[in-house]
Amino acid sequence: MAKESLEQSNEQSFELQKIYHKKVTFDAPNTPAVFLDEWKPAVNVDLNTSANRISDTNYEVVLGVTCKVLATGTDTVLFTAYVEQAGVFEVDGYDEAGVMALMGSFCPAQLYPYARNHISNLASFGGFPQLLLAPVDFDALLEDAMEQAEDELL
């Protein structure tokens, strides 16, 4: 019986509990004049993530996506859209490296399609053509961030 208890305590579990918006903003400071120009945007996308432990086994992960869209070759801002897409994830039985991989890559990858959809909707509802953001390799981003942090320590 004690053996079964030990085996159960070594099991890993991961479950998505909730997905929600934490913050959403849209700003189109130069409308309606920008609607008269030809649509040739330059899109700048910035991503950031954070993870906070909210209980023994629950973490909140927040993916922030900022899209600043400029008229090509100018400083004219067509619009800026910002979405903080968040989720609560239940994680149990993982070591520190496993939790870091989940929080830094897997969880943001689960949230990104929701954020990408909301950015596209914000652009459309703002009177602009649909904005389709490219897929993101969160594994590569996490690896780059870890290498950069390691370099800064040296």
Instruction: Evaluate whether residue 126 is within a structural domain.
Output: yes
Instruction: Evaluate whether residue 25 is within a structural domain.
Output: yes
Structural domain harbouring 131: 12-153
Instruction: Evaluate whether residue 6 is within a structural domain.
Output: no
Compute the distance between CA of residue 141 and CA of residue 127 in angstroms, rounded to an integer.
32
Look at the block and give the residue holding tokens 């008269």: 36
Look at the block and give the residue holding tokens 């849209």: 26
Instruction: Evaluate whether residue 134 is within a structural domain.
Output: yes
Q: Find the angle CA(77)-CA(81)-CA(84) to the nearest 5 degrees.
A: 150
Which pLDDT value is given to residue 86? 98
Instruction: Evaluate whether residue 47 is within a structural domain.
Output: yes
Instruction: Evaluate whether residue 80 is within a structural domain.
Output: yes
Compute the distance between CA of residue 139 and CA of residue 112 in angstroms, rounded to an integer.
13
- Residue 106: count of CB within 10 angstroms of its CB: 17
- Residue 138: count of CB within 10 angstroms of its CB: 21
Instruction: Evaluate whether residue 7 is within a structural domain.
Output: no
Instruction: Evaluate whether residue 1 is within a structural domain.
Output: no
User: Could you list the pLDDT tens digit for every one of the 154 residues in the chain?
Assistant: 444 433 445 688 899 999 999 999 999 999 999 898 888 899 999 999 999 999 999 999 999 999 999 998 888 999 999 999 999 999 999 998 899 889 999 999 999 999 999 999 999 999 999 999 999 999 888 888 888 777 776 6
How many domains are there within the chain? 1
The two structure tokens encoding residue 51: 């993870």
Compute the distance between CA of residue 62 and CA of residue 93 in angstroms, rounded to an integer.
22
Query: pTM of the full predicted structure?
Result: 0.84
Compute the distance between CA of residue 7 and CA of residue 12 in angstroms, rounded to an integer.
11
119: domain CATH number is 3.10.420.10
DSSP three-state, residue 143:
helix
